[in-house]
Amino acid sequence: METSAKRFLGLFSGCENAHGQTTVLDKLRHGKQKAEYVAVREPLTCELIQEHLDGTRGIASIPIDEKSCCRFGALDIDDYNLDLAALKRKVSRLKLPLVMCRSKSGGAHLYLFLSESVPAVEVRDKLSEFSSALGCSTCEVFPKQEEVIAERGDLGNFLNLPYFNAKHTTRYAIKEDGDSLTLDEFLDLAEAARMTFEEFRNFKLSNDEDLLPNGPPCLQQLTEFGIPQGGRNTVLFNVGIYLKNSSPETWKESLEKHNQSYCTPSLPAKEVVSVQEQLKKKEYNYQCKVEPLNSHCNRSLCRTRKFGISHHQAFPAIGGMTVVQSEPPVWFVDVDGARLELGTKQLQMQIDFQRACMEQMYKMPARMKESEWRDLIDGLMDNATRITVPEELTRKGQFSELLEIFCTGRLQAHIPEELLTGKPWTEEGFTYFKLGSLQEFLKRHGFNHYTRGQITERLKEMNNGGQADKQFRFKDDKDAWRKIRVWFVPEITRGDVDFPPVTFEKDDDDVPF
């Protein structure tokens, strides 16, 4: 019989060689406790899952694997005032194949479980359709990426798992009435909800494919599943924009029919005429940022529709930031489904970002206001997954490695006077050298990243923050006293490597030379 940890791992299996851990920080941001997200390059195991279920260590899973496929996905609805029971009823009414859990922040995670690997791009498309139908289009979709550049060290963003400290958890699955499920009840429900690849591909949310054909998904969703009374004028105005493009000869009559058929209750004839008169004045763009359209927006799908938003009307969707903490750092972001590798300047400057999109995506996105760009990048960096790297891949690590070679190489001073020739001198646990000689050595080895001041700061660090320079006084070959300023570090010794003895057996067919 499988353990709960093994069944749990089977549901949340994703990236094979890494998982996530979240460190909660003290400071708050917009009322929410800020956290640091770190990817650990170790497989997610039953042992780690058990620690999570026991409440000793919180664990997260990365849905997208190295082949850019998934076996689970999720919608992360981060709303403190969310009515969980009402959302659960809406999921059931729409017959969505989602398992709903309360999240750590009090919002909801809606999980899609799969029995087979499915391309991440398809999982994201399907979940975006679900979020649009639920009126939660601004929520986060996991996986956040459609692809990862695994060969460059890229990883997907991770999602905190439910049932932390399972016996007393606040991250539980939710019944229709809002009550919680036990861990075993959740496992039974989630395993039963798993979809095969074929079932996933064949699942359709809408039953009416002729409703506003090739139009914006938000208008289709609102028309089929109900236009809220306070949003009838806005929806009808935008339906009019669609009809003017799709049926320019009959759009007025079609708009009146739409009002009678789908607005409950229908708008008075006087208000419909007012909408028609306004639409006659000029050509309008869809009001994507106005409610209720915004909550039901599916921009990526809308841009593929003949009568959807135009490519110049919307800035590309950017998300799923991952940073490899090398020096300089390497950033990966998702831009309209494509995975881009960027430098810091390309994130900072929009013109450099546009150039990167042109070179890697063959697209040139529109520009936004600089203040909006700063807010966007700042938000992405706050929630970025951080990937640590070995120290030798950092500038500090490279400096330490070259300093060791410099101090322990073949060209060593045998007497202090040889410091004048640029050789390092080791005595009584310290190695002394001229700063200029070290700089020349670093330059010859292609290390030009540190200024003279930064080098001296590194040397002080190696002396526990204390003094790292002194003056040597000695007589030269002319018996005159000389002074020389030298810098020093604790003596570095190379570890000797013991190789096992190698024996060779003589073969009769060996040819003697």
As a three-state string, the secondary structure of 473-490 is EEECCCCCEEEEEEEEEE
- Return left, alpha or beta for 399; rule: phi > 0 is left, psi -120 to 50 is alpha, else beta: alpha
User: What pLDDT is stored for residue 24 in this prediction?
Assistant: 65
Encode pLDDT of 329-375 as tens digits.
Answer: 999 999 887 889 999 999 999 999 999 999 999 988 888 899 999 99
Q: What is the mean pLDDT of the chain?
A: 88
Strands 140-142 and 69-77: antiparallel
Q: What DSSP designation does 155 have?
A: -
C-alpha to C-alpha distance for 219 and 227, rounded to whole angstroms: 9
Confidence of residue 509 (pLDDT cuts 50, 70, 90): very low
Report the pLDDT averaged over residues 189-210. Answer: 88
Q: Looking at per-residue confidence, does 97 or 178 come out higher?
A: 97
Note the pLDDT of residue 415.
Answer: 86
Specify the amino acid at residue 273.
Answer: V
CATH number at 4-120+139-202? 3.90.920
* Residues 154-160, mean pLDDT to the nearest whole number: 91
Rounded distance, CA 161 to CA 177, Å?
Answer: 23
**Of 175 and 294, the one with more pLDDT:** 294
How many CA atoms, within 13 angstroms, populate the side-chain half-sphere of residue 454? Answer: 11
Domains of the chain, by residue range, sit at 4-120+139-202, 217-302, 318-387, 392-490
pLDDT at 446 over 70: yes
> Tell me, what's the pLDDT at 149?
86
* φ/ψ of residue 72, rounded to 5: -160, 160
Stretch 305-329: mean pLDDT: 82
pLDDT given for residue 33 in this prediction: 59
- Name the 3-class secondary structure at 124: helix
H or E element at residue 508: none
Asked if pLDDT for residue 507 goes beyond 70, the answer is no
Q: Which residues of 66-105 are buried (b: 16+ CB within 10 A; e: fewer)?
A: bebbbbbbbbbbbbeebebeebbebbeeeebbbbbbbbbb
Residue 110, classed as helix, strand or coil, is: strand
pLDDT score at 499: 35
Decide if pLDDT at 434 tops 70. yes
Worst-scoring range by mean pLDDT, 6-10, 309-313, 399-403, 428-432? 309-313
Give bridge partners of residue 180 from the DSSP assignment.
174
The answer to whether residues 112 and 98 touch, using CB atoms and an 8 Å cutoff, is yes
Do residues 199 and 126 touch, judged by C-beta distance below 8 A? no
Query: How deeply is 287 buried, as exposed, middle or buried, from its count of CB atoms within 10 A (0-12, 13-18, 19+)?
Result: middle
Helix, strand or coil, per DSSP, at residue 137: coil
* 264-276 confidence digits (pLDDT tens): 899 999 999 999 9
Does residue 511 surpass a pLDDT of 90? Answer: no
Q: Which amino acid is at 319?
A: G
Distance separating alpha carbons of residues 456 and 478, to the nearest angstrom:
32
